[in-house]
């Protein structure tokens, strides 16, 4: 399967440049459940090459940067952008500089950026501070391409998530539910549905309570949540996201960290392991169900990234224990456990 540039080149509006690709996109849209009149689908964006949807935008941003003669790429990141930028820059043969808030990025995401050869810099403060210095640096150095979602090519690439859903369902779903941090992805999906011309879903953007500027209506100076990928107080694409929600008759909702962990657990018990930011979308979906705000028909939630990149958070709810046994006793042990009923999986 070709990556998203070769599949959707006509819609992306990019010139005839070579694609720097790792085979991103064509992620599974799984049928998860039927809730009253709503058919719930989950789009598993964690199956992208570096484990998050960021790859859709990065393939386009890095391809365009290389064709325009960039000598390096730079980004601020809560982790997944760093991993993606590092991988695609590696594929393109370009150096990558990633700037992260000190101590606020998971070990796994940092490791990803480093193994791909990126130069990893940390700054004091939060993501919003990191983005501000990175923007200034890119502005002062035209040969360094900024690959955050303020780069319009990132959003164009991320539109392809919407195209894929329409291709699969034959039409846009009735509602789309996704986590919102810097607000680029919700804006990209909205533009994607609009451009593809097969209907526009009600757009529901879900934020973590401690980092919910779009719900509160004002920026957060000190955003705080376990969902590190959406721990953002001043969303760069705020206005586009507000337009997406207003024009589609959707809403922004906030969910607690506790609800996020519960959602992560529920998904994982059903076979789908996502990071807390992605579980936020599922927690929002459950709120919409409780409030009877889910439309009839197909409803899709975007599960933005794999759970494997944040190994610490699930330790808050998973019981990390093993039992030793030996060849003579294995069968008897399992029989006893089944009888006890303690190994029964309850969703
Ligand atoms: C980046 C990211 C988000 C937030 O997307 P925005 O475009 O910043 O709103 C959500 N989940 C994961 C896993 C991410 O990496």
Q: Where are the domains of the chain?
A: 4-52+153-314, 55-150
> From the CB of 51, is ligand 1 less than 6 Å away?
no
Nearest-angstrom CA–CA distance, 243 and 188 = 12
What contacts 332, CB < 8 A, 6 or more positions away?
A: none
Q: Do domains 4-52+153-314 and 55-150 have the same CATH topology?
A: yes
Nearest ligand 1 atom to alpha carbon 178:
10
Please state the residue numbers annotated as binding site.
80, 181-185, 304
Q: What b/e sequence results for 156-177 when a residue is b if at least 16 CB atoms lie within 10 Å of its CB, and e otherwise?
A: bbbbbbbbbbbebbeebbbbbb
Which of 4-13, 70-79, 101-110, 134-143 has the least mean pLDDT?
A: 101-110
Mean pLDDT lowest among 1-5, 205-209, 296-300: 1-5
Ligand 1 pocket member 309 (CB < 6 A): no
Mean pLDDT for 284-296 is 98
**What are the phi and psi torsion angles at 216 (to 5°)?**
-75, -30
Find out whether the beta carbon of 275 lies less than 6 Å from any atom of ligand 1.
yes
* Mean pLDDT along residues 51-60: 98
Q: What share of the chain is helix, strand, coil (3-state, %, to 5)?
A: 45, 20, 35
Residue 278 alpha carbon to ligand 1 centre in Å: 8
Which DSSP letter does residue 19 get?
A: P
Q: Is 182 in the pocket of ligand 1 (CB under 6 A)?
A: yes
pLDDT score of 327: 87
* Ligand 1 site, residue 60, Cβ cutoff 6 A: no
Sheet with 119-123, side-by-side order of all strands:
119-123, 96-101, 72-76, 144-146
Percent of the chain whose pLDDT exceeds 90? 90
Q: Whose CA is nearest to atom 4 of ligand 1?
A: 181
The CATH class given to the 4-52+153-314 domain equals alpha beta
pTM here is 0.95
* pLDDT for residue 41 is more than 70: yes
Q: Does 58 contact ligand 1 (Cβ within 6 A)?
A: no
**CB neighbours of 5 closer than 8 A, spacing ≥ 6?**
12, 14, 19, 21, 59, 60, 63, 157
User: To the nearest whole percent, how much of the chain has pLDDT over 70?
Assistant: 98
> How far is Cα 213 from Cα 80, in angstroms, rounded to an integer?
21
Substitution site in 27, 58, 156, 179 for ligand 1 pocket (most atoms within 8 Å of beta carbon):
179
Instruction: Specify the ligand 1 atom closest to the Cα of 277.
Output: 11
Rounded to the nearest angstrom, the distance between the alpha carbon of 180 and the centre of ligand 1 is: 6
Cα of 277 vs centre of ligand 1, distance in Å, is: 7
Alpha-carbon distance of 160 to 25, in angstroms, equals: 8
Average pLDDT over residues 6-17: 93
d(CA 335, CA 8) in angstroms, rounded, equals 53
Read off the pLDDT band of 345 (50, 70, 90).
Answer: low
What residue's CA is closest to ligand 1, atom 14?
229
CATH top class, domain 55-150: alpha beta
- Which pLDDT score is estimated for 21? 98
């Amino acid at each position: 399967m070709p990556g998203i540039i070769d599949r959707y080149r006509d819609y992306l509006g990019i010139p005839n440049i070579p694609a720097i690709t790792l085979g991103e996109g064509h992620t599974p849209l799984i049928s998860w459940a039927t809730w009253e009149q709503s058919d719930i689908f989950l789009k598993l964006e964690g199956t992208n090459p570096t484990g998050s949807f960021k790859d859709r935008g990065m393939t386009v941003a890095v391809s365009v940067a290389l064709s325009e003669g960039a000598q390096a790429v730079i980004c601020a990141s809560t982790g997944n952008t760093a991993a993606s930028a590092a991988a695609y820059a590696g594929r393109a043969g370009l150096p990558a500089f990633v700037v992260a808030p000190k101590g606020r990025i998971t070990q796994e995401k940092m490791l990803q950026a480093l193994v791909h050869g990126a130069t990893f810099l940390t700054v004091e403060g939060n993501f919003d501070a990191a983005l501000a210095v990175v923007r200034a640096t890119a502005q002062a150095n035209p040969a360094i391409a900024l690959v955050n979602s303020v780069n319009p090519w990132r959003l164009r690439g991320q539109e392809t998530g919407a195209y894929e859903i329409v291709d699969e369902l034959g039409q846009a779903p009735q509602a789309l539910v996704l986590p919102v941090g810097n607000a680029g992805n919700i804006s990209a999906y909205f533009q994607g549905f609009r451009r593809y011309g097969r209907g526009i879903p009600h757009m529901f953007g879900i934020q973590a309570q401690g980092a919910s500027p779009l719900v509160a209506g004002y920026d957060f100076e000190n955003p705080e949540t376990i969902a590190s990928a959406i721990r953002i107080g001043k969303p760069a694409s705020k206005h586009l996201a507000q337009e997406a929600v207003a024009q589609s008759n959707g809403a922004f909702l906030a969910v607690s960290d506790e609800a996020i962990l519960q959602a992560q657990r529920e998904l994982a018990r059903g076979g789908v392991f996502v990071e807390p930011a992605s579980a936020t979308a599922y927690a929002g979906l459950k709120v919409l169900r409780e409030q009877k705000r889910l439309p009839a028909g197909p409803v899709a939630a975007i599960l933005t990234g794999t759970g494997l990149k944040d190994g610490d958070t699930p330790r808050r709810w998973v019981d990390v224990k093993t039992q030793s046994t030996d060849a003579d006793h294995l069968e008897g042990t399992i029989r006893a456990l089944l009888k006890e009923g303690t190994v029964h999986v309850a969703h």
